Amino acid sequence: MMLPRRQTILGGVALAAGTAAPAAAQLTIDMTKPSFEPVPIAIVDFKGDKVGADIAGVVRNDLQNSGLFRSIAPSTFIQQNIDPNQPPRFPEWRQIGAAGVVVGQVTTAGGNIKVDFRLWDVVVGQQATGLSFTSQPNNWRRLAHIIADAIYKRVTGEEGYFDTRVAYVSETGPLGARVKRIAIMDQDGFNNRYITDGRSIALTPRFSPTLQEIVYMAYGERNEQPRVYLQNVDSGRRELLGNFPGMSFAPRFSPDGTKVVMSISADGNSDIYQMDVRGRALQRLTNSPAIDTSPCYSNDGTQIVFNSDRGGTQQLYVMSASGGGDRRISFGEGRYATPVWSPRGDFIAFTKISAGSFGIGVMRADGSGERMLASGFLVEGPTWAPNGRVLMFFRQQPNSGGRAGSVTLHQIDITGRFERQVPTPTDASDPAWSPLIPQ
């Protein structure tokens, strides 16, 4: 049974930390540099309740999977039975090459669990950060993600992304008769559950930026026109956002959640429309004989990126969020699709098709600095983590006959150095990353 994820974190307070010193740079990492080494970190099983070892395990996996940390194997630890309330014996941790040591304890408090953790800077011999939380016992996995986020922020200077969820399209059955359901899971692949039941084809999930809600498109039986639904992922409450004949992708929200933008086909061509979520009034933003599709707002809501074949080939364009001022930003070889603006505003991710090959890339908002991060038989559908430093996409491998085979989700950081497959119980495509979950 899926555990409720919007449970209240009853307490979250900082534990006393020492003043940072210049030598603590060894417990930091600068992701803007062209080369860097993962930070070696030792994460000790938390003391107290038996769930402490599970919490430490989730923290290890989160940090290790980011590619920015190297988790030191517990079997190499020299100091054992560490008192989480006392400084560790720093020389012994330096001896095994640790830049940081994470310790913690779990205690019960009035039917809840209280989790304390500390990150110690081994180089300078002082505490780097620490937090204390109280929550329901079955919320331990989320607490582990929050702890991993705190460590990630302390070491990188960037916000973490571990306390998030991912919606995606679960695919089962033969290729000619796929059952497609919307599923949701934690960003590490755990706590998977289904939002739709498979009786209709459900596609293109997208998260609201302000609430834990998703919007998705569903085709009913008897070739009905697509309908767009808005569903709360915790309560299960669903409402019809609208019927949009000719729409090919679910709408994307504006950063403030008050509007959605979508492409709608009519009379043989596709244009971009904007809709006020409350008033439900449509505003047409493009009017050309070309196919304009896949729109996405900028992080500040003032611009929209989309792809269009108005220049003869499928390319990326940016326009004002109210329409007008269109300008082309992609000029490389091949075709560009599915642009998604970073939550930071600095990059636009995209799918590129060139010479029969697919790739996931990023470019700056003005089109400069194009870099390809991943390529393959079919890679598509990038979505940003809320910190704007990690992407998720789906990858399809060819089968033995050279045709489309299994479909899997993958994460990659914006340097392109660290890619990993995200586990799902079925084939999976079209991921959508949530904002950070409210605490």
What are the tens digits of pLDDT across the range 205-216? 999 998 788 999
Q: Measure the CA–CA gap between 150 and 139, rounded to whole angstroms.
A: 17
Neighbours of 108 (CB within 10 A): 11
Min mean pLDDT across 23-27, 210-214, 421-425 is at 23-27
Q: Can you tell me the mean pLDDT for 29-45?
A: 86
Answer whether residue 221 shows pLDDT above 60.
no
* Phi, psi (degrees; rounded to nearest 5) at 61: -65, -45
Q: Which residue has the higher pLDDT, 291 or 175?
A: 291
Sign of the CA dihedral with 302 first, then 308, 313, and 314 last? positive
**Taking a C-beta distance cutoff of 8 angstroms, is the pair 125, 87 a contact?**
yes
Give residue 101's pLDDT band: very low, low, confident or very high (50, 70, 90).
Answer: very high
Give how far Cα 155 sits from Cα of 84, 108, 151, Å. 20, 30, 6
From the centroid of its chain, how far is CA 215? 16
Answer whether residue 6 shows pLDDT above 70.
no
Q: Which residue has the higher pLDDT, 230 or 295?
A: 295
CATH (residue range 165-240+300-433): 2.120.10.30
Answer whether residue 120 shows pLDDT above 50.
yes
Q: Can you tell me the mean pLDDT for 360-373?
A: 96
Burial class of 1 by CB neighbour count within 10 A (0 to 12, 13 to 18, 19+): exposed
pLDDT at 12: 63
Q: Measure the CA–CA gap between 357 and 360, rounded to whole angstroms.
A: 11
Answer whether residue 84 shows pLDDT above 60.
yes
Q: Can you tell me the mean pLDDT for 111-115?
A: 94
Give residue 39's pLDDT band: very low, low, confident or very high (50, 70, 90).
Answer: very high
Strands 347-354 and 335-341, by their bridges, are: antiparallel
Answer whether residue 259 shows pLDDT above 50.
yes
From the centroid of its chain, how far is CA 203? 18
Give residue 52's pLDDT band: very low, low, confident or very high (50, 70, 90).
Answer: very high
**In the chain, what percentage of residues exceed pLDDT 90?**
67
Place of tokens 């409402």: 239
Min mean pLDDT across 13-22, 73-82, 381-390, 398-407 is at 13-22
* Phi, psi (degrees; rounded to nearest 5) at 349: -90, 155
Give residue 234's pLDDT band: very low, low, confident or very high (50, 70, 90).
Answer: confident
Give residue 23's pLDDT band: very low, low, confident or very high (50, 70, 90).
Answer: very low
Q: Which residue has the higher pLDDT, 406 or 14?
A: 406
Q: Measure the CA–CA gap between 222 and 252, rounded to whole angstroms.
A: 27
Residues of the chain with CATH 3.40.50.10070: 11-156
pLDDT at 24: 36
The angle subtended at Cα 38 by Cα 359 and Cα 74, nearest 5°, is 120
Please give the CATH topology (third level) of the domain spanning 11-156. Rossmann fold (3.40.50)
Average pLDDT value for the chain: 89
pLDDT at 14: 64
Give residue 222's pLDDT band: very low, low, confident or very high (50, 70, 90).
Answer: low
The tokens describing 88, both together, are 């560790």
Residues of the chain with CATH 2.120.10.30: 165-240+300-433
Neighbours of 407 (CB within 10 A): 22
Give how far Cα 386 sits from Cα of 90, 224, 422, Å. 35, 35, 17
pLDDT at 176: 77
